[in-house]
Structure 1
Amino acid sequence: MKITYDPEVDVLRIVFNNLPIEESDEEKPGFVIDYDRDGNIVGLEILDASQRMDNPSSVEYTIAT
């Protein structure tokens, strides 16, 4: 998984795997979901990220045990 934030365009992108994107849908305003050819989710984009979260350039990662 890879997470990137581009402050110039204010987009946070989460990539789950490196499969080619076959289709992208904006399911809800500001949330774009990318799918592979089998319909599996490949990635997620959050548009206007700084308006939707406190600090899009900060990531906290925790593994629940």
Structure 2
Amino acid sequence: MKIIIDSVIRACYIRFDESPIVGSEEVKSGVILDYAKDNRIVGIELLHMNPEIMSNLMRNFSLETK
């Protein structure tokens, strides 16, 4: 699993595995799911995150940051 935080655009991307992404769907405003060919969710993107939540994530987890 990989978590990428982009503090400039206030986004978080969680990637569960490296399967190729064949489709994406915005299921709620600012929540995008990435799907593999077998319809498994392989990634979740969270947009417009609260700065306090982002700060808490970066403080409490080992993350790859942009």
TM-score after normalising by structure 1: 0.78
How many aligned residue pairs are there?
A: 61
CA displacement at 1:49 relative to structure 2: 1.5
1:38 matched to which residue of 2?
38
Structure ranking higher on relative contact order (CA contacts 8 Å, 6+ apart): 2
CA displacement at 1:40 relative to structure 2: 0.3
Q: Note the residue ranges of structure 1 that are not aligned, 5 or more in a row.
A: none
Q: Matches of 1:45 and 1:60 in 2, distance apart? A: 17
Indicate how the Cα distance of structure 1 residues 9 and 3 shifts in structure 2: closer, same or farther if over 3 A, else same.
same
Q: In the TM superposition, what are the counterparts of 1:16-55 in structure 2 within 5 Å? A: 16-50=16-50, 53=53, 55=55
Indicate whether 1:10 and 2:10 are aligned. Answer: yes
Does the residue aligned with 2:58 lie in a helix, a strand or coil?
Answer: coil
In terms of fraction of residues, the more helix-rich structure is: 2
Indicate how the Cα distance of structure 1 residues 36 and 27 shifts in structure 2: closer, same or farther if over 3 A, else same.
same
Identity %: 33
Q: RMSD across aligned C-alpha pairs, in angstroms? A: 2.1
Does the residue aligned with 1:5 lie in a helix, a strand or coil?
Answer: strand
Q: Matches of 1:26 and 1:38 in 2, distance apart? A: 18
